[in-house]
């Protein structure tokens, strides 16, 4: 089990006093950038472990990094201290300036644990800015530090992805730009909702085939598509990667077609991944990959959540796709992911939320 600790008690008190006097400003900087305070020579030794942890490659279809590391010297702390994602990394006793800083902000008890327990990660949220994550990675020696980073790789990137999703969620969800009437229609007609931003439109609402398609900026250079498909009285046998690929291809062949009806969307063979996750308390298959036309010429990334809902006895497939050939798509697919995750069945909504939505139909 990974252990997360905050900075020393005295250090937190100093920050808390400052925060009481001046309300925290939101963290700044690119969402996909991590500022790494490290000595230049030590960073060269740690770079491979850090890069393999945080700079994982996704294909959209061009290769893009999940996060981009930017090393800076500790002397630049005042300039970068309000950035969204920060890491301090150095061996505890190397004598480098970053090492001296880390040694100064941890207390004696933590130092003892660092020397005896290689699983410690020192972490602090909202230290110098709102929705900020600051992490200290240290160990007695450079060799042990590299081992620690590699051993905790999945936990480290997961923590930074979650705070990034939280920031993005707060920026995307705004009641002033929410199409409550459309959401209420889905709730009343089908028993579920998904967040519909002001610039999305309903492209297809097919109750016969249990299919709803909403899209943003059709026929532009930056399109976003979301479809919700469900199977009534479904079998759990659908919850496997092969069945999901087959169902998705069947749905997109029917509904995602070119204007001349000659081409349709299929899942590309390359970079397809499938994993088991917990989505709103349900066992869910998360699939990610690339879509393309069967006649080639177009393509982009997609993300898909498929799960069984016990109360409605339905298999739900919620799927988001991006078409933006002239743009990097890492941030776009993250935004799509956050939007897709807004899906809720009527049983997951509070009575107050249901009434609020249904009232929108009368406005």
Q: Write the CB contacts of 171 (distance below 8 Å, at least 6 apart in sequence).
A: none
Question: DSSP string of 65-93?
Answer: ESSEEEEE-GGGHHHHTTBSEEEEE--TT
How many other β-carbons are positioned within 10 Å of the β-carbon of residue 47?
A: 15
**What domains sit in the chain, N to C, each tagged with a CATH number?**
3-172 (no CATH), 175-360 (3.40.1000.10)
Strand partners, 64: 58
- Report how far apart the first and last C-alpha atoms of the chain are (Å, whole number): 51
User: In Å, how far are 19, 26, 128, 132 from 23, measured between CA atoms?
Assistant: 6, 10, 10, 14
Query: Where are the extended beta strands (E) located within the chain?
Result: 3-5, 33-37, 57-59, 63-65, 68-72, 85-89, 120-125, 133-137, 192-193, 200-206, 211-216, 223-231, 265-267, 273-279, 282-293, 299-309, 314-323, 344-345
Residue 61: asked if its preceding bond is cis (omega within 30°), the reply is yes
Per-residue pLDDT of the chain (363 residues; tens, 9 = 90+): 444 444 443 344 334 434 445 688 999 999 999 999 999 999 999 999 999 999 999 999 999 999 999 999 999 999 999 999 999 999 999 999 999 999 898 888 888 888 887 567 888 999 999 999 999 999 999 999 999 999 999 999 999 999 999 999 998 888 888 999 999 999 999 999 999 999 999 999 999 999 999 999 888 889 999 999 999 999 898 899 999 999 999 999 999 999 899 999 999 998 999 999 999 899 999 999 999 999 987 899 999 999 999 999 999 999 999 999 999 999 999 999 999 999 999 999 999 999 999 888 877
Please write the tens of the pLDDT for every residue from 261-305: 999 999 999 899 999 999 989 999 999 999 999 998 789 999 999
User: In Å, how far are 270, 283, 286, 306 from 276, measured between CA atoms?
Assistant: 20, 7, 6, 10
């Amino acid at each position: 089990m990974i252990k997360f600790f905050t900075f020393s008690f005295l250090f937190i008190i100093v920050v808390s006093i400052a925060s009481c006097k001046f309300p925290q400003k939101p963290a700044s900087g690119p969402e996909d950038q991590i500022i790494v305070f490290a000595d230049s020579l030590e960073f060269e030794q740690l770079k491979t472990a850090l890069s393999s942890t945080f700079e994982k490659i996704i294909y959209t279809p061009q290769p893009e990094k999940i996060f981009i590391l930017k090393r800076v010297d500790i002397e630049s702390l005042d300039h970068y201290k309000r950035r969204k994602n920060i890491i301090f990394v150095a061996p505890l006793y190397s004598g480098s300036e970053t090492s001296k800083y880390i040694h100064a902000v941890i207390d004696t008890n933590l130092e003892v644990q660092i020397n005896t327990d290689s699983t410690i990660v020192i972490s602090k949220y909202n230290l110098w800015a709102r929705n900020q994550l600051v992490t200290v990675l240290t160990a007695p020696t450079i060799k042990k530090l590299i081992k620690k980073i590699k051993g905790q790789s999945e936990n480290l990137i997961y923590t930074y992805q979650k705070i990034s999703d939280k920031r993005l969620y707060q920026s995307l969800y705004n009641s002033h730009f929410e199409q409550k009437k459309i959401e209420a229609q889905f709730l009343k007609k089908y028993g579920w909702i998904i967040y519909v931003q002001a610039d999305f439109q309903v492209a297809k609402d097919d109750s016969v085939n249990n299919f709803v398609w909403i899209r943003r900026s059709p026929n532009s250079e930056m399109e976003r598509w979301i479809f919700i498909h469900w199977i009534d009285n479904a079998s759990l046998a659908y919850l496997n990667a092969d069945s999901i690929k087959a169902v998705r291809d069947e749905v997109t062949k029917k509904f995602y077609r070119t204007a001349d009806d000659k081409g349709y969307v299929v899942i590309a063979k390359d970079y397809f991944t499938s994993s088991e996750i917990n989505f709103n308390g349900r066992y869910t298959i998360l699939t990610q990959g690339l879509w393309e036309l069967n006649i080639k010429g177009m393509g982009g990334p997609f993300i898909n959540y498929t799960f069984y809902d016990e109360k409605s006895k339905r298999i739900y497939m919620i799927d988001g796709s991006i078409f933006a050939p002239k743009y990097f798509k890492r941030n776009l697919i993250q935004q799509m992911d956050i939007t897709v995750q807004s899906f809720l069945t009527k049983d997951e909504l509070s009575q107050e939320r249901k009434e609020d939505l249904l009232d929108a139909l009368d406005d």
